[in-house]
Structure 1
Amino acid sequence: MNDRRRFLTGVVAAGAATAMTPAALAQEGAGAGQSAAPHVPSALPPNAQVAAAETATPGENGEPSRIKGVPGSDFMVDVIKTLGIKYVPSNCASSYRGIHESLINYGGNKMPEFLNCMHEESAAAMAHGYFKIAGKPLMTLCHGTVGLQHASMAIYNAWCDRVPMIVVGGNDLDASTRPPGVPTFHSAQDINALVRDFTKWDDTPVSLQHFAQSMVRAYKIAMTPPYGPVMISLDAGLQQEAVRGHGGEKLYIPRYVPTSPPQGDSGAVKEAAKLLAEAQNPVIVADRMARTPNGVKLLVQLAEALQARVVDQGGRLNFPRTHYLSAPASAIAGADVILGLELADFWGTVNSWTDNGENGVGINATRTKPGTKLISINSSDL
């Protein structure tokens, strides 16, 4: 009972305090201010020497440069600039500090421009989205094992969506020279293994000339249909060491030559055209077909020429939903010829699967009528 009375007394006192007039509150505050001790800051501002040490560029304060000559990362920037990459969205990290510094100071932070991100996954996602709009790939830098793990989900999304991006992971590979602590803990013999199952290609350059060849090749592979992310593990020592003679030969940058898009065998194309032309009820199913707006126009022309109904599975904006030939997925049931364009799962398109059938095993059933001809045009096998 006493505890309850003390509680109620406190409530009444608090209520009375809130009921005070503004004038009374101001008078009380003025009185308290006169008796209070002057405010002392908890931390003093840094002196000029400390401020310079914390904000100046290394080497500006008379410190000797750690690199005698041109750092290898400057040459790496020269290579990257030849590929026309516009942005490098990345989360800053020590394992790629060499190339980061060269991008800013040597490269002028232009073409590419470094975009500071708060997380590797959002950085890779920015590269994904940029390509979807601009049609050009970006490069993203990741820190060793931990940064690459953060980025892995967004890299996987790009892989599923057939979007190219160049992922470069900083890694202190040489155990005899790398610093102790975090640089050692966050390094690995093969960081590319973390994302190898959902990248098109990867490499670990061991020299500057090797990097030049790998970078151009990575860009070429990423931009060859089917598009996809590629991965390069970049040694921190290789970035920071001075450029040395490469077996007596001068370093050079290979010229990027785009690969011609793959095309079907002429005989197979003629056979497919014959089947479609003779079909009574052809159906076209498109998934990741249209890589450009022109792809939509070409599909409309093909559908109208064949008077074929089109099922758009939505992997891309392939076909106008308002077009009179646009059809639901059930349209394949009556088709005598089905043309699949870049289907992620052709089997699942023409078959159904019911979970938890007899004895807990799924039940398969066809969605098509007997004798239906199937034509697949797909680059995913390449």
Structure 2
Amino acid sequence: MTGRRKFLKEAIVTGTAAVLAKPGASAAQTAADKAPAVERPHAALAAAETLAPSLDEAPAADSAHIGNPGSDFMVDLLRIAGIDYVAAMPGSTFRGIHESIVNYAGDTRPQLIVCTHEEASAAIAHGYAKVAGKPMACLVHSTVGLQHASMAIYNAWCDRVPMMVLAGNIADATKRRPGVEWYHTAQDLGALVRDYTKWDDYPVSLQHYAESFMRAYTMSVTPPMEPVLIVADTELQEQPIADPRDMRVPPLREATPPVGSPDALAAAASLLCGAKAPVIVADRAVRTQDAMDTLVQIAQALNAPVIDLLGRMNFPTNHYLNHSSHQARLLAQADVILALEVADVWGLTATVPDTISRPSKPRAKGDTQVISISTAYLYGKSNMQDAERYFAATLPIAGDAQASLPGLLRAVLAAMTPAQRSAAAAREQPLKLAFEKMRNDAREAATRAWDGSPISTARLCQEVWNVIRHDDWAMVSPPNPISMWPQRLWDFTKTWQFIGSGGGYGVGYGAPAAVGAALAHRDAGRIAVNIQTDGDLMVLPGALWTAAHHRLPLLTVMHNNRAWHQETMHIQRMASRRDRHPERGVIGTVLHDPPIDYAAMARSMGMWAEGPISEPADLGPALARAMEQVKSGKPALVDVLTQPR
């Protein structure tokens, strides 16, 4: 076993060519066998379009046994791509890959992350990728599994997140057993999600599968990053490789991200340096700490306030140039706006209020110049309307914002005249004073209803901050339902400390995405914190079981306002417009008859839990007890009865 593990490690790390045929060891695994042997990979790991230099003969197959199945080869491709985890709820159309993961790969690199719903599988992969910086795979069971997963795939599409979706299917109608296998098969499975995947394919041979897999992976991780789909036919999974000598594996070579041209970046720098009131707006721009540091340097050189739209963790919250809470005022005053991977550029200069006629209203001055650096110019699909309203930027730059930041910094430093440096320096002190006032105002606002019951969202967030602030922590949930209090009160200084928003705003994203993010944070030695809304958890509560099963250090704190509160407000608004009964807006939008015991739910799934807590004085001690569990490497949940927002 030691020799094989050493071989596997060296083969994957160094790219050493390996034989295509498995050794003849038995694949049997007993319950007592906690760490089964990892069999050596049979993919030609080294060169594109070249054969492995020496090949063993494949074990013979007979009518009852299969030697050298194609699914082992499919698992090797996951290894080559560096995919450490595969999320799945079991399904018969990918049983070959499932078995290869747990026996051939020994349930390690990749490891199976056990899920209770396909939507959770995809959402876990979504959350993981945003923290790990690389894709995770999810397996889905043909028609029914892919339809279950489709909402989470759509969220990842809207969020520009890479993901490898592998779907089982049975193409050959003569090989389908009567009944269920016909219901669970499609002629064109990819059509179900083609409007919100970057690429899909249905390979008809293992050679085809290898090339499609490498193409799909490369496309998924090249900005604009998106989910991709490969259909793994059951025949390819379950039948033996006909002749290992025929197999060729293209090398994995990631593409260089697209960068804004030097001339375009120089033009952008000229506009920014000449501006009297420049504003930087970042959405899904930053993926690494180096990129955040570069953005800080650009902002400081210009003394331009930054609005972080929180698609990612773009800018430190404790930096004097972070003026996210001043968005409306800054956009109204700006003469030049730099938009970095902003999903809705039109929305920076105008808005549509939720009134009866919905007239467009300006947010910016009519002569405001907008620079937009985005990969959105490099692709597009028309059916799903995630592209937002069209806006013709003054200077549109087609390129990855993160990859373009170093060039933009150089251009700004080169373009700035002494007079412009002096004008920028003059902005520093007023911006520092405005920043301090913004932070003090937030602290003052947080004290309102401090001792109220149910507990205010500001107090909930501050009590969470008190128990995590001295640890290596990361927030893995969106802040919108809690009035953005974490970003207003906590010090976020690293990109990994915040997962960003959820993409398509599909309810059910939060809990499983937090689990996926916690998986990546566990590998990095960090504690993940999830402030979880109640309505979202009820879509996929099985994510709690996955967290307990895999022993993820995840602190979940329920924002339990016992309602889909936003929908309550929508119905009340409709009733008010129609002069009816706004108080009846709670019908169909609340979760209190009967109330849901989330702590009991979590305990039933093997998670430590406490609550519901409604008295503010009890919250801090309960969170401290939960953190003891999390620091020991286990998930914990604290159910907190809260104010609506």
Shorter-chain TM-score range: 0.7 to 0.9
Match of 1:221 in 2: 219
1:268 maps to 2:259:
no
Match of 1:156 in 2: 154
Using the alignment, how far apart are the partners of 1:334 and 1:97 within structure 2? 59
Q: Sequence identity of aligned pairs in percent?
A: 51
What are the superposed Cα offsets for residues 303-336 of structure 1, whole Å, 9 maximum, x if unpaired? 1101111111121111123322222212011111
SS in 1 for 2:173: coil
Question: Is this contact kept in 2: 1:67–1:242, CA < 8 A?
Answer: no
Match of 1:124 in 2: 122
**How far apart are residue 167 of structure 1 and its match?**
0.4
**How far apart are residue 166 of structure 1 and its match?**
0.3
Match of 1:294 in 2: 290
Specify every segment of 5 or more residues in structure 1 that has no aligned partner in the other structure, as ranges: 1-51, 56-62
SS in 1 for 2:185: coil
Amino acid of the residue matched to residue 305 of structure 2? R
**How far apart are residue 67 of structure 1 and its match?**
4.8
Aligned with 1:256 (options 252, 256, 259): 252
What are the superposed Cα offsets for residues 39-86 of structure 1, whole Å, 9 maximum, x if unpaired? xxxxxxxxxxxxx9xx9xxxxxxx965455422112222222111111
| TM value normalised by structure 2 | 0.47
**How far apart are residue 261 of structure 1 and its match?**
1.1
Match of 2:238 in 1: 240
SS in 1 for 2:266: helix
Using the alignment, how far apart are the partners of 2:376 and 2:288 within structure 1? 17
Amino acid of the residue matched to residue 103 of structure 1? I
Amino acid of the residue matched to residue 125 of structure 1? A
Question: Is this contact kept in 2: 1:340–1:376, CA < 8 A?
Answer: yes
Using the alignment, how far apart are the partners of 2:163 and 2:342 within structure 1? 22
What are the superposed Cα offsets for residues 215-251 of structure 1, whole Å, 9 maximum, x if unpaired? 11111111111221111111111111221249xx620
SS in 2 for 1:80: helix
Structure with the greater alpha carbon radius of gyration: 1
Question: Is this contact kept in 2: 1:67–1:240, CA < 8 A?
Answer: no
SS in 2 for 1:231: strand
What are the superposed Cα offsets for residues 9-60 of structure 1, whole Å, 9 maximum, x if unpaired? xxxxxxxxxxxxxxxxxxxxxxxxxxxxxxxxxxxxxxxxxxx9xx9xxxxx
1:91 maps to 2:66:
no
Match of 1:230 in 2: 228
Question: Is this contact kept in 2: 1:164–1:223, CA < 8 A?
Answer: yes
**How far apart are residue 254 of structure 1 and its match?**
0.9
Match of 1:140 in 2: 138
Match of 2:333 in 1: 334
Question: Is this contact kept in 2: 1:335–1:369, CA < 8 A?
Answer: yes
**How far apart are residue 381 of structure 1 and its match?**
2.6
Using the alignment, how far apart are the partners of 1:91 and 1:117 within structure 2? 5
Structure 1 residues 193 and 368, CA gap change in structure 2 (3 angstroms): same
Match of 2:193 in 1: 195
Using the alignment, how far apart are the partners of 1:91 and 1:307 within structure 2? 50
| TM value normalised by structure 1 | 0.79
Match of 1:317 in 2: 313
Using the alignment, how far apart are the partners of 2:333 and 2:141 within structure 1? 53
SS in 2 for 1:374: strand
Question: Is this contact kept in 2: 1:96–1:170, CA < 8 A?
Answer: yes
**How far apart are residue 114 of structure 1 and its match?**
1.6
Using the alignment, how far apart are the partners of 2:308 and 2:254 within structure 1? 30
Match of 1:305 in 2: 301
Using the alignment, how far apart are the partners of 1:285 and 1:78 within structure 2? 42
Using the alignment, how far apart are the partners of 2:207 and 2:62 within structure 1? 28
Using the alignment, how far apart are the partners of 1:158 and 1:293 within structure 2? 22
Moved more, 163-172 or 76-85: 76-85
Match of 1:352 in 2: 351
Question: Is this contact kept in 2: 1:285–1:311, CA < 8 A?
Answer: yes
SS in 2 for 1:283: strand
Using the alignment, how far apart are the partners of 2:142 and 2:239 within structure 1? 19
SS in 1 for 2:259: coil
SS in 2 for 1:339: strand
Amino acid of the residue matched to residue 334 of structure 2? A
Amino acid of the residue matched to residue 152 of structure 2? A
Using the alignment, how far apart are the partners of 2:334 and 2:312 within structure 1? 23
Question: Is this contact kept in 2: 1:90–1:141, CA < 8 A?
Answer: yes
Match of 2:70 in 1: 72
Using the alignment, how far apart are the partners of 2:95 and 2:361 within structure 1? 56
Using the alignment, how far apart are the partners of 1:241 and 1:167 within structure 2? 22
Match of 2:371 in 1: 375
Q: How many residues align?
A: 318
SS in 2 for 1:380: helix
Using the alignment, how far apart are the partners of 2:302 and 2:231 within structure 1? 49
Question: Is this contact kept in 2: 1:67–1:241, CA < 8 A?
Answer: no
Match of 2:108 in 1: 110
1:285 maps to 2:284:
no
Specify every segment of 5 or more residues in structure 2 that has no aligned partner in the other structure, as ranges: 1-27, 32-60, 379-645
Amino acid of the residue matched to residue 110 of structure 1? T
Amino acid of the residue matched to residue 272 of structure 2? L
Using the alignment, how far apart are the partners of 1:231 and 1:66 within structure 2? 32
What are the superposed Cα offsets for residues 243-273 of structure 1, whole Å, 9 maximum, x if unpaired? 1249xx6201110001111101221111111
Amino acid of the residue matched to residue 281 of structure 1? A
Question: Is this contact kept in 2: 1:103–1:114, CA < 8 A?
Answer: yes
Question: Is this contact kept in 1: 2:348–2:364, CA < 8 A?
Answer: no
SS in 1 for 2:174: coil
Using the alignment, how far apart are the partners of 2:84 and 2:166 within structure 1? 15
Moved runs in structure 1, 4+ residues, more than 6 A? Answer: none
Match of 2:473 in 1: none
Question: Is this contact kept in 2: 1:351–1:367, CA < 8 A?
Answer: yes
